[in-house]
Chains A and B, each alone.
Chain A
Amino acid sequence: MIDIQNLVFSYRNGARGEASGFGMRIEKFTVPKGISAALVGPSGSGKTTLLGLIAGTLRPSAGSINVNEWEISNCSENALVKFRLHYVGQVFQTFELLNYLTVIENVMLPWFLAGSGRKAEKLERARELLASVGLESKALSRPDALSQGEQQRVAVCRALFNDPALLLADEPTGNLDQGNKQKVVDLLRDQARRHNSTLLMVTHDEALLGQFDMVFDIYSVAASLHGDSI
């Protein structure tokens, strides 16, 4: 479950991290455990920021963020690393695959970072995931040799690799055709259902919204802040 209370976040600028004068406030935002939720809203409204706050890659100025038993807003940096590696699967807007690794190695990246578990099992898991999105024949290709849609599917496989308790997906269907869009959504929802995981997916695709248990509009979740109110 995701539970956010009285959160204040201030955007920061540059290497010195000075306050930009803009931010967001969330009084209360809850997504129950095992629920598939969609988050909608126009570009630049803070959807990606909210995912970053939940994943612990952005730190709030005030308030609390809890994900299951994790109190994200109070975790140390090391604890957050562990949290992201073992409990969160993320699909990014720009895929963020490593071109010096093969497709299957990209899927196995969380295992390279964690360094635990048997390689044969992990390989099998990666192959299964690739097969589920129709990319088993591309396992040894480089990501830059794939189409954007194929790259997005690889990114989804990487997010699912560790069977995460929380799935955060930032427009994972943005670059896919209708058939593949449905495949990816099915894959994410199926993963959430089978592992009782929570799925929060940012999307602009209204046709997909009916498939989610809950739909949130960012404007009903978060209020923009600027100037002295931060």
Chain B
Amino acid sequence: MSGVLLLSWRYLAHHRAKSTILVASITLMLFLPAVTRLLVEDSAAALTARAAQTPLVLGASGSELELVLNTLYFHAESPPVIDSRALSDARETGLANFIPIYARFHSQGVPIVGTTLEYFDFRGLSIANGRQMGLLGECVIGAAVAARRNLGPGDSLISSPESVFDIAGVYPLKMKIVGVLEANGSADDEAIFADVRTTWIIQGLGHGHTDLDDPEAAGTILNRRDDMITANAALTQYAEITRENISGFHFHGSADRFPLTGVIAVPPDQKSAALLRGRYQANEAGLQLTVPGAVLADLLATVFAVQNYVILGLAVLSLATVAVITLVFLLSQQLRKGEFQTLSRIGASRAYIALLIASEIGFVFVIGFVLATGLTLVTRNYAMQILQSFLTL
């Protein structure tokens, strides 16, 4: 038996190019359907788990899917917003605990999520290094962001402008990192969390500058009428919130009008959830209350249907590949007629020659199978990252 295996292995090793092409074909034939199925199943499980953790989401009317994905995965570039008034109105119902989410800005492509400390309790997020955010301008970062950008407590990061062409826009805000979150294998690992008011400052709804009553600022004042003071561009605007200048930060306009991209609602029981959903069923204020689990179930039903077509297509492709491989082996047997005749003249039986061919085919399939399994397992390890990259496109 070892003689057969040695001969077949030597043959495959000698005809390296042919063997490599055959093995690669088998590997792809097995890998593609397997990885498609596994990635879809893992992604579905990850999506479903996070959605199941999030009972209800309140947001602007329109696409339920966009609202859910942005509230859960912070992926949208220009998400529709609702007024903070909607949050206070919802809180007045007393039917749930409401957690604001303002996920609109980024720092070098990483979403900056404005929220409150309740979010961390709700998601079960703990601080691995440093402390929880406490002041305006402070932030905590996800484990993956910290690892990738080599950041930790004491470092700082700067918000990116929404548009590089908006030269009249607000200044980027330099935020101080005070903590790094424990990794939990979710979108939270890939985000920067700050107080929701900090994100309003990033937007320019609040700002900080030198005290206009300070004699040093007198030269910048253009006009002073009643409680309205107009200053020129020489007035120093703060690009960073520190303990020294925090008192100089303030907001303009009504806090009720400040924007949020979503509100997570966590009702204490089914009854409260049902009552809350009833309240927003025919909402005319441009709001909707969605059940993330149901929204993602609809999405996944579509994904699974598409997956079935893809796998069917791959199965047809696999049949074609097997047919081509069979043809290659048959043609190869024709070309090797002389070699088999020599083996037979020396003393190889027909069974031996059949075993030789079978073990060559076996080697190709076994190596292809092992490679496909390895590739599938490696790809599966990166399933969450792949999912994240799709969601943050």
Please list the residues of chain A having a beta carbon within 8 angstroms of any beta carbon in chain B.
55, 57, 77-78, 81-82, 84-86, 88, 90, 92, 96, 98-101, 105, 109-115, 158
Contacts and interface: CB of A to CB of B under 8 A. Distances in A.
Contact of B3 (A84, A115, A158): A115
Nearest to B3: A112
B347 A82 contact: yes
A101 B343 CA distance: 13
Please provide the 4 A-B residue pairs with the shortest distance between their CB atoms, ordered closest to farther.
A85-B347, A112-B3, A100-B14, A96-B342
A78 B350 CA distance: 9
B10 A84 contact: no
A105 B10 contact: yes
B345 A57 contact: yes
Nearest to A142: B14
B347 A110 contact: yes
B6 to A, nearest CB: 6
Nearest to B348: A113
A81 B3 CA distance: 16
Contacts of B15: 100
B7 A115 contact: no
Contact of B347 (A100, A105, A113): A113
A110 B346 contact: yes
Contact of B346 (A82, A85, A100, A101): A85
A112 B6 contact: yes
Contact of A99 (B7, B14, B348): B14
A90 B10 contact: no
B339 interface: yes
Nearest to B343: A113
Given A100-B14, A112-B3, A86 B344 contact: no
A224 to B, nearest CB: 24
A101 B10 contact: yes
Contacts, number: 60
Given A85-B346, A113-B347, A115-B2, A100 B352 contact: no
Please indicate which of the listed interface residues A81, A82, A110, A111 has the most CB atoms of chain B within 10 Å of its own CB: A81
A81 B342 contact: no
B20 to A, nearest CB: 15
A82 B11 CA distance: 24
Main secondary structure of the interface of A (DSSP, over half): helix
Nearest to A162: B347
Given A77-B350, A85-B346, 20 more contacts: A57-B344, A78-B349, A81-B347, A81-B349, A82-B347, A84-B346, A85-B347, A86-B347, A88-B347, A90-B345, A90-B346, A96-B342, A96-B345, A105-B6, A111-B3, A112-B7, A113-B348, A114-B3, A115-B1, A158-B346
A37 to B, nearest CB: 20
Contacts of A81: 344, 347-349
Interface string B330-357: 0000000011001111111110100000
Contacts of A84: 345-347
A85 B345 CA distance: 8
A111 B3 CA distance: 8
Contacts of A112: 3-4, 6-7
Contacts of A101: 7, 10
A110 B136 CA distance: 85
Nearest to A89: B346
Given A99-B14, A101-B7, A114 B347 contact: yes
Contacts of A82: 347
Please indicate which of the listed interface residues B1, B3, B13, B14 has the most CB atoms of chain A within 10 Å of its own CB: B3
Contact of B11 (A86, A92, A100, A111): A100
Contacts of B14: 99-100
Nearest to A98: B339
Contacts of B350: 77
23 contacts: A55-B345, A57-B344, A57-B345, A78-B349, A81-B347, A81-B348, A85-B346, A85-B347, A90-B345, A90-B346, A96-B342, A96-B345, A98-B342, A100-B10, A100-B13, A101-B7, A105-B6, A105-B10, A110-B347, A112-B7, A114-B3, A115-B2, A115-B3
Nearest to B13: A100
A158 to B, nearest CB: 8
B360 to A, nearest CB: 11
A88 B14 CA distance: 29
B11 to A, nearest CB: 5
A214 to B, nearest CB: 25
A187 B10 CA distance: 29
A92 B349 contact: no
Contacts of A114: 3, 347
B339 A113 contact: no
A114 B4 CA distance: 10
Contacts of A110: 346-347
A222 B4 CA distance: 39
Please indicate which of the listed interface residues B11, B14, B344, B345 has the most CB atoms of chain A within 10 Å of its own CB: B345
A99 B7 CA distance: 11
A85 B344 CA distance: 9
Interface in B1-29: 1-4, 6-7, 10-11, 13-15
A81 B351 CA distance: 11
Contacts of A77: 349-350
A105 B10 CA distance: 10
Interface in B108-135: none
Nearest to A81: B349
Contacts of A86: 347
